């Protein structure tokens, strides 16, 4: 069971790291649909790991309760085995003796017993108060030692509770590793945050000294693969993605080169970050039953 749980945690952790890595990667590439799918898978894996952890804790708690109940039942059975049959110690109160009123029985024992019981109760209360005020933890420790005989026998290969120290030794190495990992994580958070912010920024950049940006991509459709359907899908994809850039691209044309291969030209040339956004939008085609792959990109330089 422990091995299966360890394997589940290992594969779940690897899958979560894999999904998280591709979520960030697709965000930096401006491939939003793929990033959403990876993020959804990451959430599913996290919920799965949390559920497994909760079920494991509940199973451990249930096992402890069952062990506790078993030990209580075992102690109760031992007490029943060592208990002697208790006869009626107050034979003088039996009805057969009460009929003998004229005999030598005077029935004085009952009030004497009641008075003695009240007196002993008072003395016991005083002793209890004195003992409660003067008792020390050593008394409880001695009592626990006396009751140790009622506990279950020790299991072979495990240390008894008496042999274990009351306070576990400090694990300085593990604590130091945890502190170093926490500090490294705190230092990495702003760096990763800055890198992701730079990759997904939407501010306008300075246009390069080039006449135009050219992007060649292939479009494929599922179902209707006629030239008219492919042309319509490519035009729809190009019109959607050309608006995803921060720079103005009012002059953007689409030309058909070969079967399913198209060339998009934007004038003036786009900055490098907008080129990345345009490429990510095309490869992350969210048009129904359409996929696209960028074959190449480039710039047409100004001639002096």
Note whether residue 200 is domain-resident.
Answer: no
Statement: residue 82 has pLDDT above 60? yes
Among 23, 51, 82, give the residue marking a domain's end.
82
pTM: 0.51
Structure tokens at 72: 């209580």
Which carries the bigger pLDDT value, residue 261 or residue 223?
261
pLDDT of res. 88: 54
The three-state secondary structure class of 219 is strand
- Split into its structural domains, the chain has a count of 2
Note whether residue 114 is domain-resident.
Answer: no
Residue 23, domain extent: 2-82
* pLDDT bucket at 154, cuts 50 / 70 / 90: low
CATH number at residue 220: 3.30.70.1130
Statement: residue 200 has pLDDT above 90? no
Note whether residue 119 is domain-resident.
Answer: no
Note whether residue 271 is domain-resident.
Answer: yes
Among 23, 48, 82, give the residue marking a domain's end.
82
Note whether residue 25 is domain-resident.
Answer: yes
Among 82, 107, 142, give the residue marking a domain's end.
82
Q: Write the DSSP symbol of residue 294.
A: E
One DSSP character per residue, 83-135 reads PPP---S-GGGSHHHHT--SSS----HHHHHHHHHHHHHHHHHHHHHHHHHH-
> What's the pLDDT tens digit per position in 95-123?
554 455 555 555 556 677 777 878 888 88
pLDDT of res. 262: 92
Note whether residue 240 is domain-resident.
Answer: yes
> What's the pLDDT tens digit per position in 23-80?
888 888 888 888 888 899 999 999 988 888 888 888 888 888 888 888 878 877 776 6
Note whether residue 44 is domain-resident.
Answer: yes
Statement: residue 92 has pLDDT above 80? no
Note whether residue 246 is domain-resident.
Answer: yes
């Amino acid at each position: 069971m422990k091995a299966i749980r360890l394997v589940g945690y290992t594969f779940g952790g690897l899958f979560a790291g894999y999904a998280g890595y591709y979520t960030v990667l697709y965000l930096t590439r401006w491939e939003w649909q793929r990033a959403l799918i990876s993020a959804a898978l990451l959430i599913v894996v996290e919920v799965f790991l949390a559920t497994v952890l909760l079920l494991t804790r509940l199973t451990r708690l249930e096992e402890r309760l069952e062990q506790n109940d078993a030990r209580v039942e075992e102690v109760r059975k031992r007490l029943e085995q060592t208990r002697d049959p208790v006869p009626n110690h107050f034979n003088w109160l039996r009805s057969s003796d009460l009929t003998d009123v004229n005999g030598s029985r005077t029935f004085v024992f009952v009030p004497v017993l009641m008075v003695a019981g009240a007196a002993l109760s008072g003395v016991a209360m005083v002793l209890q108060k004195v003992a409660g005020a003067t008792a020390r933890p050593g008394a409880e420790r001695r009592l626990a030692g006396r009751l140790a005989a009622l506990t279950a026998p020790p299991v072979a290969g495990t240390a008894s509770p008496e042999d274990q120290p009351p306070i576990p030794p400090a694990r300085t190495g593990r604590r130091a590793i945890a502190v170093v990992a926490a500090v490294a994580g705190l230092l990495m958070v702003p760096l990763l945050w800055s890198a992701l912010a730079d990759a997904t920024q939407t501010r306008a950049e300075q246009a390069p000294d080039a006449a135009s940006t050219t992007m060649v991509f292939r479009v494929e459709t599922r179902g209707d693969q006629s030239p008219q359907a492919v042309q319509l899908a490519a035009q729809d994809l190009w019109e959607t993605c050309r608006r995803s850039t921060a720079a103005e691209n009012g002059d953007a044309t689409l030309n058909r080169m070969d079967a399913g291969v198209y060339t998009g030209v934007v004038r003036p040339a786009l900055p490098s970050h907008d080129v990345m956004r345009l490429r990510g939008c095309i490869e992350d085609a969210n048009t129904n039953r359409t996929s696209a792959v960028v074959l190449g990109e480039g710039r047409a330089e100004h001639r002096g």
